[in-house]
Structure 1
Amino acid sequence: MIDPQNIEAVKNWVRLRSVTKIRGFVGIASYYRRFVKNSAYIAMHMTNLTKKEVPFEWTEKCDESFQKLKTLLTTAPIIALPVEGKDFIIYCDASHSSLGSVLMQDKNVIFYASHQLKVHERNYPMHDLELPTVVFALKIWRHYLYGVKCDVFIDHRSLQHVFTQKDLNLRQRRWMELIKDYDITIQYHPGKANVVADALSRKAVSMEKGGVLASIEVRATFIEEIKAKQFEDENLNEIRKKIVIGNAQETTLDAEGVLSLKGRICVPRIDDLIQKLLIESLGSRYSNLPGVTKMYRDLKKLYWWLGMKKDRAEFVAKCHNCQQVKYEHRRPAGLLQRMPIPEWKWEKISTDFVVGLPKTFLKFDFIWVVVDRLIKSAHFISVGIDYNAQQLA
């Protein structure tokens, strides 16, 4: 089942109190009429109020059609799950009261989103409201859009040239720095055709501040799997015995019989189970790739197992997505330099050791290799592991 919070922007749409609001909402239903059966008939009582000769009076029938259309607009097949490998499309629009965006794939809606403008934001000029709408969409859907090609449609033609515009104010430069992290193409789309995002940006709705987060859900089946395999771990079985005799510290058994340490679920030392947990927490394409430290902090709140920090570090080091997006903080390495050629034999030498050899009668177990860099002549000298620099000299 799809999370209801994903479509909160439409489900929390308050009662329409003007002809303009009705036209905006009915525009959404008309745009998706191929998915909504009898959408025009359902919206008939509301569309009648948009006629000039009809007085505006919100009746029970209007409210019924309004609620029914909201339900149809926020259920499958309109709202769908994203399909990996397909490009995304975002429709954006802004008004002087709010921002509206729609995330789509193959004309199927993945998310609706809208955001009420703050007091100071309402003083922005119109061309400065369209760009933050794009930024707003990229931020809340980052886990879907990062590293994926996306077309963004806006109804402000000047934004098509924002990437080549030379004179940008500080606010626009800050937004452009965020946008450049994504593979997006901004295209012009007339406002009359962009009915969904346009209506979302102009809807009268009261929404609390919040963010859209990608979370890991611990399902009952996974808990049952951990519970069953906890008995296969000898260390955890020893802890269970201590709990029975009352000699365990900071470990408990919850109501489902799952062993926990300081409130964290004890994961048995089984490679397949640990790999499954690590893949769920980081391996998804839509994860935010937190890195070793943040991943350790996040999962440490929920789980514990022997060697968990080492396992996470190794998993992140092998993660292809992590290595692609990881920022390198070191300076780039320089080019290899040619070594100067010595003028005399044995003027410059190179040394190394051959180690791991069995001890001889004289207790030598290393070979010190000395090579002349001019004529490549080598000497092999038997030494012991306990030789210091003075003895070698």
Structure 2
Amino acid sequence: MTDAPILVLLDFSKVFEVDCDASNVGIGAVLSQEGKPVAFFSEKLNHSRTRYSTYDKEFYAIIRALNHWRHYLICKEFILFSDHEALRFINGQHKLNNRHAKWVEFLQAYTFHIKHKSGRLNQVADALSRRHSFLNTMQVKVSGFEILKEQYSEDPFFKQIWTKCSKGPVGSYLLQEGYLFKGNRLCIPEGSLRENIITETHAGGLAGHFGRDKTLSLVKEHFYWPRLERDVARHVERCRTCHMAKSQGQNTGLYTPLPVPTAPWEDVSLDFVTGLPQTQRNKDSIMVVVDRFSKMSHFIPCNKTNDASHVADLYFKEVVKLHGIPKTITSDRDSKFVGHFWRTLWRKLGTKLQFTWATCCEVWWERIFVSGT
């Protein structure tokens, strides 16, 4: 699971499979195709999430995995595996708390089939979910570890402390079985062992070339020596693998302008104005539909909680009956507009969907011009 040759290059012509699992300390997931792993993912649960129920932990593992591989999964149908049987019915529940409602809404943007996989067959994702537990118990194995006891008396920083601690604890320092500890952290005298510890934590075994802060936190949890922060920062900065794999550049390029419309109501923009006070008819949002050619607009009352089917129904009742089916619809990447239902509906009607980022200047200023918000 930790050797590079086991990973395969992804093939977008094949179906993606996502295996998820959760434990009491973390979550894990595997992205694969035809049973061969493409990528691994794991995350340690913070204190509040460790108190989630088993159902919520397994659900959270699915949400984080899909969000992590969103660029692969958002536009393709895939198979989702979980060893928690109850998650097969997440789309059929009628009573949801706030957390579950938010997660279910997030899932609407994806097209997938969820299947149950027994824990015996879901071992890789299970191991990934417990990875941080393994890291906490990991020990650096170096031949001649006993030599530390002899090096304390020669180390320029620990020499005096070691001498005083031989008579009893000094502040937070104490001797235990010949080793010097500061609190519950082992003191490491000057030498190659310091570099070996940093290397093992940063890039060895179950590590994954963590960043500076993560590596520093893992080393400080078990070891201590002066200028530890400087040594970790230097090691991470000089890591050749990190420089090759973690590129700082972005290939986003410049914004591409939208095509210029040539006739009324052939190219429209669609967006929502939310955060409004509730009306007597329980409406709290406005759907804004703008003809990009003439700037003629329709302002349609709606609810913030309306899903893609309700939005489509409103559009047909208020806009299509007056102006017909458009050739293109430009919108942001709201979950309503990137879901399977919305894409399939307009594809069958012959309408091309164009997506912009929420901060796209052209659409943003167009909405301000017509709505004054």
TM-score scaled by structure 2? 0.40
TM-score by length of 1: 0.38
Mark the structure with the bigger radius of gyration: 1
